[in-house]
Structure 1
Amino acid sequence: MSVHENQFSGTPASGTQPPKAESTEPAFFSARDLHAYYGESYIVQGVSFDVREGEILALLGRNGAGKTSTLRTIARMDNPNLTKGEVWLDNQPLHQMKSYQAARKGVGLVPEDRRIIQGLTVQENLELSQIAEPKGWSIERIYEHFPRLAERRQQEAVTLSGGEQQMLAVARILARDIRLLLLDEPYEGLAPVIVQEIERILEGVKELGITTIIVEQNAIAALHLASRAVILDMGEVVFDGSAQEVLDNAQLRQEYLAI
C-alpha cells in the first residue's frame, strides 16, 4: 500500500486489480520511525517498514533519497547518528546494539565498496569470515555456488574483476550465520553479463529463504528479483507495496525513480 494514499493507491496505471488481503504473517524485520543524519544533513526522516522472513524487499529511490543511510542504520554502522527509532530482527532490538553485536545476531551488510581485504587471497578472505562466525556455509559449499571463486581461490582478492569481487563480498556474508542480508548497489559498475550472473546468485540466496533488503539504482532488475518494494524520497517513505505494482505504475516510476 502506498504511504501517499491519494496519489498512488497501489492500482496500476491501466486496468484494475482486486483489493489485497492483509497478511497475518508477523514481520521478521521491522524498522520503526528511523531518523538519522549524515554529518549535518538530516537524511532519514521517519522511515518505517516491515519485511517478512524469507522475503526480498527492494529499497528504491533517487540518489540522495536516504537508501544507503537506512541500510547502514539497520546494520548499526552509523550508530551515533540514529537519533530516533527502533530496528527489530526476530524480536531482537538491533537499535540497542553495536554493529558487531548486530552482526552476531545475523545481520550482514555488503557495502557498495565491497571492502575486500588487501593482501589476502580469495580463500583467506573466506576463512577470515569463518573464524569470526563459524556457523555459516562451509567454504566448499560456497565454491559449489560460486564456481568462479573456486577457480580463483589462491588469487589475491583485490585483483579480481568487479563482478568477482561482488561475488566474494556476498560469499563472505554467507560464510557467517546470516539471517538478514543487506545489499548496497550490488550491480554498480558491472557489465550486463556479470549482472545476470549476480542475479542468478541472488536468486539462489532467495531460494534459501534468507531475508534480504536490496538497494539498487538498477530499479527494474531489483524489482524483478524482489517481491516487495519501498520507495524513499527526501528521506521519507512514499510507497510501500508489491514490486509488481511499481513495475505496472509508470507514473510512480517516473516521479520517484526517473524510469
Structure 2
Amino acid sequence: MTRHERIAQAPTEAAFLSVRGIQGYYGESYIVQDVSFDLAEGQILALLGRNGAGKTSTLRTLARTGTPQLTAGEIWMNGAPLHRMKAHQAAAQGLALVPEDRRIIAGLTVEENLQLAQIAPPVGWPIERIYELFPRLGERRRQEGVTLSGGEQQMLAIGRALAREIKVLLLDEPYEGLAPVIVQEIAKTLELIRDQGITTVLVEQNAVAALKLADRAVILDTGSVVFDGTAREVLEDEALRQQYLAI
C-alpha cells in the first residue's frame, strides 16, 4: 500500500470529529499543512511523528488557541463548526485541551483546581466521581496542586478537563517523564474515558504505548499527514514505523 493510498482511505465509522484540510501558521511559516482525519464517537486517535512534525501545533489549531492561526480548512465536532469559533466557544461546545505543561494553578489545592473548572457551565463530572477515577487526588485534595508528583499532576490535569462537560479530549504528551507503572495507570484511565463515549486525540512520543491504546493513527511529517489508518496497521508495518517514528 502506497503512502497516498493510506491517506486516501476513509474510516468505516461515522465521523464525530471531522478535520478537513486545516492549515495553521506562526507568522509567515506554515506549521500545519492540509491535515485531515475523521474519528467516530468514543475512538482514540494516536497523532504521531518525530519531534517538530507538527503534532502539538495541530492540537493547538484544533483547540482554536490562536497559535498557530487557522488559515484554511474546517473542524466539525458533532455538527458544530469549531473552525468558526474562538477557543472559549469551542470549549463550551465540549472540546478540552490538556497541554503538555499541564498548567496546574499555583496557590490552589487539588480540589480548588477542580472547583475552578466548574465555575461556569457546562459542568461535567462531579468532583467525587473524579476522585473515584483518581483515588490519589482524593487523598491529596487539600494539597497544593503544584506540589504533586508528575503523574499526579497529569491526573489532576485530566480530572480538571473532565470537570467540564466534554465530548473531545485533546491530550499532549500525557506520558512524558512518568514511570512505567504510572503510564499504565493513565492508559487505563483513558480506556475508561473512552467507555464513557469521549473521543480522544492523543499526542505522544511513546508511540508504541499510544498505538496499543488507540483505535486509529495519524502520522505527521513536517506538518503534513503521511499516514491515516488503524493503529494496528502501524504496529504491523515496521518500514513505516522506522521511516517516520524511528521505532
TM range (shorter): over 0.9
2:71 alignment partner, SS class: strand
The residue number in structure 1 matching 2:35 is 47
Change (3 A) 1:105 1:2: farther
Distance 1:95 1:9 in 2: 22
Shift in Å at residue 118 of structure 1?
Answer: 0.6
1:4 alignment partner, SS class: helix
Shift in Å at residue 39 of structure 1?
Answer: 3.7
The residue number in structure 2 matching 1:150 is 138
Residues 27, 53 of structure 1: 8 Å contact kept: yes
Shift in Å at residue 252 of structure 1?
Answer: 0.3
Distance 2:185 2:218 in 1: 25
Residues 109, 183 of structure 1: 8 Å contact kept: yes
Distance 2:244 2:24 in 1: 21
TM-score scaled by structure 1? 0.91
Residues 116, 165 of structure 1: 8 Å contact kept: yes
The residue number in structure 2 matching 1:187 is 175
Shift in Å at residue 207 of structure 1?
Answer: 1.4
The residue number in structure 1 matching 2:128 is 140
Shift in Å at residue 78 of structure 1?
Answer: 2.2
Structure ID, larger Rg: 1
Shift in Å at residue 26 of structure 1?
Answer: 2.2
State how 1:1-150 maps to structure 2 within 5 Å. 3-5=3-5, 23=12, 25-78=13-66, 81-150=69-138
Residues 235, 241 of structure 2: 8 Å contact kept: yes
> Does residue 164 of the first structure (1) align with residue 152 of the second (2)?
yes
Distance 1:134 1:87 in 2: 21
Return 5+ residue gaps in structure 1 as ranges.
Answer: 11-19
Residues 21, 73 of structure 2: 8 Å contact kept: yes
Amino acid at match of 2:125: W
Deviations 1:53-76 (A, max 9, x none): 111111100111111111101100
Amino acid at match of 2:101: D
Shift in Å at residue 122 of structure 1?
Answer: 0.1
Shift in Å at residue 22 of structure 1?
Answer: 6.2
Shift in Å at residue 200 of structure 1?
Answer: 1.5
Residues 60, 68 of structure 2: 8 Å contact kept: no
Amino acid at match of 2:4: H
Deviations 1:162-185 (A, max 9, x none): 100000000001010000000000
The residue number in structure 2 matching 1:174 is 162
Return 5+ residue gaps in structure 2 as ranges.
Answer: none
One of 208, 217, 228 as aligned partner of 1:220: 208
Amino-acid identity (%): 69
The residue number in structure 2 matching 1:258 is 246
Residues 38, 69 of structure 1: 8 Å contact kept: no
Shifted more, 152-161 versus 131-140: the winner is 131-140
Shift in Å at residue 218 of structure 1?
Answer: 0.3
Residues 61, 232 of structure 1: 8 Å contact kept: yes
1:31 alignment partner, SS class: strand
Number of residue-to-residue matches in the alignment: 247
The residue number in structure 1 matching 2:230 is 242
The residue number in structure 2 matching 1:204 is 192
1:126 alignment partner, SS class: helix
Distance 1:81 1:192 in 2: 36
